Amino acid sequence: MLLPNSDLSKEQTHHPREFLDYKYTYPVISRRSGGVSIGINLNLDQYCNFDCPYCQVDRSIPKPRRPISVPEIRRELEKLLQSFDPQGICRLDRFSSLPDSAKKLKDMALSGDGEPTMAPEFPQVCEMLEDLQSSLPALDFKLILITNSTLLDKPKNQSGIDSLLAKNGEVWAKLDAGTEAWYQKINVSKISLDKIQANLKSLGARHPYKIQSLFCAMDGEAPSHLELDAYTRRLSELKSSGSRILEVQLHTLARKPASSACTPVAKEFLQDLSNRIGSEIGLSSKIYGVED
Ligand code: SF4
């Protein structure tokens, strides 16, 4: 059956974290992954050391710290995997209108309602995921960490990342700004942008990684030329420091942000930046989150 484009597009932009009675895990159709991504939320408490105005997590009611149960995450994943056929195609009713090509398992991603590396149990979760991946040789999927890059220097996080990347894994590290001034507008953190740059350099000395950058306008103003110069300089510096940057993922708002001051940038903005990243720095980039 030919699928109306709108069904796929709706699934790709609507990523609810609630799934049946599952506490930590949820399947989504991901444009970036090119199929099904199983999200793993290590931040039920919504803890994050950023306060991005574009964040979609509602933190209006503070949540207490909640310890994570690693065995429970594994149980949920194993139960969820029963909904996939031997070819890795998801047979859940909620995706029944989608073609098989759109619902193949591509990855399990540590993301969710906050910064996953802030969870004390992060390294144990990574070890469990490595073990789970090794126990399923017939299924070809990646383990992905989506991180704001602030805590990549912590030895416990480095050891978790080593486990995650031992077989088939990737780190998608956030870098949304070139100057401290724009960074404090768009990410709002006590940790400096230079510290993030240093963390990315040290990650690059250990593993290849992808950069994930969100660009949006704030109060109607898109990032300036000077800001983009500073951003591309940072990418260039990372590359010349030895980081193997597999891809720069450029995106803009795809869902309603926390603050109405944030609005998406035009596709042309991201296209120009993508061209620059290719021609000036020699890095490959892809644009996500804007309609073709
Ligand atoms: S880093 Fe992610 S979870 Fe944290 S505030 Fe920003 S968008 Fe939200």
Q: How far apart, in Å, are the Cα atoms of 215 and each of 71, 268, 283? A: 37, 12, 18
Average pLDDT over residues 164-189: 97
Ligand 1: centre distance to CA 97 (Å): 31
Could you tell me which of 246, 240, 231, 144 has the C-alpha nearest to residue 193?
231
Ligand 1, atom 7, residue with closest C-alpha: 55
Do residues 76 and 206 both lie within one domain?
A: no
109, amino acid identity = A
The pTM (predicted TM-score) of the whole model is 0.92
Average pLDDT over residues 11-17: 62
- Tens digits of residue pLDDT in 47-101: 999 999 999 888 888 888 888 999 999 999 999 999 999 999 999 999 999 999 9
Ligand 1, atom 3, residue with closest C-alpha: 114
Return the higher-pLDDT residue of 64 and 3. 64
Q: List all residues whose CB is within 6 A of at least one atom of ligand 1.
A: 48, 50-52, 55, 57, 114-115, 148
Ligand 1: centre distance to CA 55 (Å): 5
Ligand 1: centre distance to CA 14 (Å): 17
Do residues 59 and 202 both lie within one domain?
A: no
Do residues 131 and 272 both lie within one domain?
A: no
Do residues 277 and 224 both lie within one domain?
A: yes
Do residues 181 and 120 both lie within one domain?
A: no
| Domain boundary pick from 170, 195, 220 | 170
| Domain boundary pick from 135, 170, 205 | 170
Q: How far apart, in Å, are the Cα atoms of 51 and each of 70, 253, 269? A: 27, 16, 24
Name the residue of 48, 51, 110, 147 to mutate for ligand 1: max ligand atoms within 8 A of Cβ.
48
Do residues 65 and 147 both lie within one domain?
A: yes
Range of the domain at 233: 175-292
Q: What is the CATH number of the domain that holds 238?
A: 3.20.20.70
Average pLDDT over residues 36-42: 96
Return the higher-pLDDT residue of 288 and 73. 73
Do residues 79 and 25 both lie within one domain?
A: yes
Do residues 30 and 130 both lie within one domain?
A: yes
- The token pair at 53 is 């105005």
Closest ligand 1 atom number to CA of residue 214 = 7
Do residues 197 and 166 both lie within one domain?
A: no
Q: How far apart, in Å, are the Cα atoms of 108 and each of 15, 58, 164? A: 14, 23, 10
Do residues 195 and 288 both lie within one domain?
A: yes
| Domain boundary pick from 121, 147, 170 | 170
Q: How many domains does the chain have?
A: 2
Name the residue of 42, 43, 49, 50 to mutate for ligand 1: max ligand atoms within 8 A of Cβ.
50
Ligand 1, atom 8, residue with closest C-alpha: 55
Q: What pLDDT, on a 0 to 100 scale, did the predictor assign at position 13?
A: 59
Q: What pLDDT, on a 0 to 100 scale, did the predictor assign at position 11?
A: 61
DSSP H helices in the chain: 5-13, 70-81, 122-134, 155-164, 180-186, 193-204, 225-240, 267-276
Ligand 1: centre distance to CA 137 (Å): 33
